[in-house]
Amino acid sequence: MASTQFQPIQGMSDIAPPDIALWQMIENRAREIFARYCFEEVRTPVLEKTELFSHSLGETTEVVTKEMYTLEDRGGRQLSLRPEGTAGVIRYIAGSGEAANNRLFYLGSMFRCERPQAGRKRQFHQIGVEAIGAPNPLADAEVIALQVHLLAAWGLEGAKVRLNTIGLPEDRAAVIKGLREAIRPHLNELPEDAQQRFKTNVLRLLDSKDEAVQKVVAKVPPVIEFMSAESRAYLDAVIKTLKQLEIDVEVDASLVRGLDYYVHTVWEVVHGSLGAQNALSGGGRYRIEVGKKTFDGVGFAMGVERVITALEANGIGAAQFAPAPPVFIVSLGEAALNENLLLLQMLRQRGVACEMELSDRKVKAQMKRANKTGAKQVIIRGDTELEKGIFVLKDMKEGTQREVELPELMELL
């Protein structure tokens, strides 16, 4: 029934078997790799004060102005479901002082109330890291290395890292001014909405998809030209270190980021399979103020749904990570059912995954169910076997079966 009454709300989905196996693989391997880079997990609340996000992401960013799920609690406080993970982690660190590890990772749901499309859900999942510390090109390169390592651990091929700098906050005015001056002569070549953005957010013109805009942007010098020597040297150092580490990146002067907290290095990982939302990850160095404290750090967030799309395009799917099929126990008669219940428990305690039919159904029905679970081995024990103290062990693939005693059964499973 195509009824809406059992569907989750728009832009949100149930993640369930068999697909869940791929999610688990992604999370498990991420944990392994994070451990090697000495990042530890943090789980922050999904609900935070709205101002935490508006301050750190920027009051005027689209995410804050249009996309947050915001609500008022009974005390009249403005709260929002987190649209990203960094702000909450920084708040945690700010509150923990010296005690907090400055290398943290997180994974969990994020919420943005946008129109869903390919690679964009309203509840989506991110895996991210934050390495807190003063700006240091080596730290940026290390985090990019971690990210590339992670992609490899998942078996993902064909991903590209695009890298750029957006410079220091002090550079920003110069960049905007320089960009405006460079574009102004071509202003009449731009469509109307782009002319609007020329005033409100010139940087955004750089990564516009509009052909007319791209034509103009191609004539404009790269943004680093407008930046201080310090900013340029920082980017060069990051690039040099990545080269040493033999990590392939593509420096792309048109890459910009939407959140206000970014400084210096920014990057994204793109993959051809993704449709219009072609970035499966976004990262960068940032500077965030929480209360009177300022935090410098570098990190990234990967969209798990997008990673999955890319993996599937690589032929990597949930089926490859499905749990091993259980052993199935078939009973006949009440006495055998009870005895088999004990057997079931014993096997489970020995580490064997197994399942059995708990109601008194026909052998045929039980076998059918065993087959459906994918069981390779089936133990059949009815009253006859019970009397003889044996078990019938059937190999489902071969279709053969033989009688065994308990010690041998244990041996075989």
Hey, which residues between 168 and 197 contact RNA (CB under 7 A)? Answer: 193, 197
Does residue 355 touch RNA according to CB under 7 A?
Answer: no
Element (H, E) at 52: helix 50-57
Interface segment toward RNA; rule CB under 7 A; list 72-80, 172-180, 344-352, 368-376: 368-376
Does residue 7 touch RNA according to CB under 7 A?
Answer: yes
Q: Given the complex with RNA, which of 224 and 279 has the nearer CB atom?
A: 279
Q: Scanning residues 203 to 262, which ones bind RNA (CB under 7 A)?
A: 204, 208-210, 257-259
Please report, as a single letter, which amino acid is at residue 67: E
Of the candidates 103, 121, 264, 285, which one interacts with RNA according to CB under 7 A? 121
Of 280, 281, 273, 376, nearest to 323 by C-alpha is 376
What is the Cα–Cα distance from 257 to 301, expressed in whole angstroms? 13
Does residue 130 touch RNA according to CB under 7 A?
Answer: no
Of the candidates 54, 56, 61, 231, which one interacts with RNA according to CB under 7 A? 61
Identify the three-state secondary structure at position 101: coil
Q: How far is the CB of 403 from RNA (least distance, A)?
A: 9
Does residue 27 touch RNA according to CB under 7 A?
Answer: no
Helix, strand and coil content of the chain, in percent to the nearest 5, comes to 45, 25, 30
Q: Given the complex with RNA, which of 289 and 360 has the nearer CB atom?
A: 360
Q: From residue 276 to residue 295, what is the string marking binding to RNA with x (rule CB under 7 A)?
A: xxxxxxx-------------
Q: Which residues lie closer than 8 Å to 78 by C-beta, 6 or more apart?
A: 49, 50, 51, 70, 71, 72
Does residue 116 touch RNA according to CB under 7 A?
Answer: yes
Identify the three-state secondary structure at position 127: strand
What is the Cα–Cα distance from 212 to 215, expressed in whole angstroms? 5
Do the Cβ atoms of 403 and 390 come closer than 8 Å?
yes
Q: How far is the CB of 254 from RNA (least distance, A)?
A: 12
Q: How far is the CB of 329 from RNA (least distance, A)?
A: 11
Does residue 399 touch RNA according to CB under 7 A?
Answer: yes
Does residue 322 touch RNA according to CB under 7 A?
Answer: no
Of the candidates 130, 140, 142, 305, which one interacts with RNA according to CB under 7 A? 305
Q: Scanning residues 327 to 346, which ones bind RNA (CB under 7 A)?
A: 330, 332
Q: How far is the CB of 229 from RNA (least distance, A)?
A: 28
Interface segment toward RNA; rule CB under 7 A; list 112-120, 157-165, 220-228, 289-297: 112-120
Q: How far is the CB of 395 from RNA (least distance, A)?
A: 8
Of the candidates 27, 189, 383, 408, which one interacts with RNA according to CB under 7 A? 383
Which residue is listed with tokens 């052993």?
Answer: 327
Q: Render the burial of 227-260: b for 16+ CB within 10 Å, e for the rest.
A: beeebeebbebbbebbeeeebebebbebbbbebb
Angle, in degrees to the nearest 10, between helices 229-244 and 137-154: 40
Q: How far is the CB of 239 from RNA (least distance, A)?
A: 20
Of the candidates 392, 404, 408, 413, which one interacts with RNA according to CB under 7 A? 392
Q: Which pair of structure tokens corresponds to residue 219?
A: 């004539």
What is the Cα–Cα distance from 328 to 331, expressed in whole angstroms? 10
